[in-house]
Amino acid sequence: MEKQYMLDYITLKDSWRLFHIMAEFVEGFENLSDVQPAVTIFGSARTRKGEQLYTTAYELAKVLARNKFNLITGGGPGVMEAVNKGAKEEGVKSIGINIELPYEQKPNPFINVPLSFKYFFIRKVMFIKYAIAYVVLPGGFGTLDEFFEAVTLVQTNKIRPFPVILVGSDFWGSLVEWMEKNMLARGTISKEEMKIFRVMDDPEEIAAYIKKFVIL
């Protein structure tokens, strides 16, 4: 009897979870429907103000904003804060898509389009659905996760091809070299699939490259 009660409770809880998931999708679609053209930018939350990576993210954000791109980040500190700050100062939409975590990630103060989600997979949909490009600065596991998911979605034709840019050849160079040596050489990926992404350094060149894919 107790076992059946627990099964019924789990089923009911899962059913209500579906409504929560639907509500988060609706909130995201309604709030982000008019943000295009937008570029989603990823990078380390552990970067501190004054570090070179923070400055790089800030300057890149300002260049992209001056080229009329709204900017989407994960809404937290570090690289995300630097990007949102640059976007806000240039007068474009500074979108922060935050995630609710056991250890609270506070939204940075430079967001003018704030959103918060409980579920990572919904947040990921919002990152990619409304972006005309992914720009990936140095970061940790989460940054790598977003990069490889985007590349996989393009590879499998689940989304349209769009610019995926790794910023910082000094940081990403060894990863690309590893992919060529251990994946490309063994045939687990192809030469064409290595072209899905590009490693770049100069903010102006990055903006020009993205503009080739969109009419502003």
pLDDT digits (tens, 9 = 90+) for 120-169: 899 999 999 999 999 999 999 999 999 999 999 999 999 999 999 999 99
Q: Which pTM was predicted?
A: 0.88
Token pair recorded at residue 26: 């609706």
CA-CA distance, 80 to 46, in Å (whole number)?
A: 10
185: domain range? 2-211
Residue type, 5: Y
In a domain? residue 216: no
In a domain? residue 66: yes
Contacts of 169 (CB under 8 A, 6+ apart): 199, 200, 201
Contacts of 89 (CB under 8 A, 6+ apart): 62, 65
CA-CA distance, 193 to 167, in Å (whole number)?
A: 18
- How many structural domains does the chain have? 1
pLDDT digits (tens, 9 = 90+) for 40-52: 999 999 999 999 9
In a domain? residue 10: yes
In a domain? residue 102: yes
In a domain? residue 31: yes
Residue 196 sits in a domain whose CATH number is: 3.40.50.450
In a domain? residue 194: yes
